[in-house]
Amino acid sequence: MQVRDLMTNRLAYCTPDALLPEVAGMMVNCDCGAIPVIDPASNKALGIVTDRDIVCRAVAAAQNPSAIRADQVMTTPIAAVTPESPIEDCLAKMEAAQVRRMLVVDKSGTLCGLVSQADIARAMPERQAAALLRDVSAPTNHAARLH
C-alpha cells in the first residue's frame, strides 16, 4: 500500500503571512488540528501549524495570537513523504519524528496531501495502528511535567 492510497488530498492550507486567527478559523471550519504552510509562489510546503503550535508558541508564551503570523509558530523542518512512498515508510517517519500528521509532497516539494494517524487507523491492521499510536505518543525527555 502506498501513501497515495490513504492520504487526504483536499487540504486547507495557508501562506506564511496568515495571521493565527485565520489559521485557527480554518481548523474550526475544516474540523482539523493542522494547517500546512506553503510558499504562495511555488506551492512548496514550508511548515505546518498545529493547534499545539498555537497554544505552546503563542498563547502560553503570552503573545497576542491576533498579531502573530503562521511562519512565527509553524513547525519546521517539515516531515514529509511522497505519494509513492510505501505506507510502512510513512509509519516509520511518523514514529521517528513523533508526529501525528505527515505532509505528502511531490519530488519538487509541492504539497500534495496529508496522512494522519486517523487515516492509518482506518486502513491498517489494528496491531500496526496501535504501535504507531504508542510510538508517536511516547513522552520525550524534554517534556515539561507539572506536579
pLDDT averaged over 10-residue windows placed end to end, the chain, 147 residues:
93 97 96 96 96 92 90 94 94 89 95 91 74 65 42
Evaluate whether residue 143 is within a structural domain.
Answer: no
Evaluate whether residue 144 is within a structural domain.
Answer: no
In terms of residue numbers, what domain contains 16?
3-137
CA dist 90 and 127 (Å) reads 16
Evaluate whether residue 68 is within a structural domain.
Answer: yes
CA dist 130 and 121 (Å) reads 8
CA dist 35 and 15 (Å) reads 10
Structure-block grid coordinates of residue 48: 505546518
38-51 burial, b for 16+ CB within 10 Å, e for fewer?
A: beeeeeebbbbbbe
Evaluate whether residue 76 is within a structural domain.
Answer: yes
Domain count, the chain: 1
Q: Give the pTM.
A: 0.83
Evaluate whether residue 142 is within a structural domain.
Answer: no
Evaluate whether residue 32 is within a structural domain.
Answer: yes
CA dist 74 and 47 (Å) reads 6
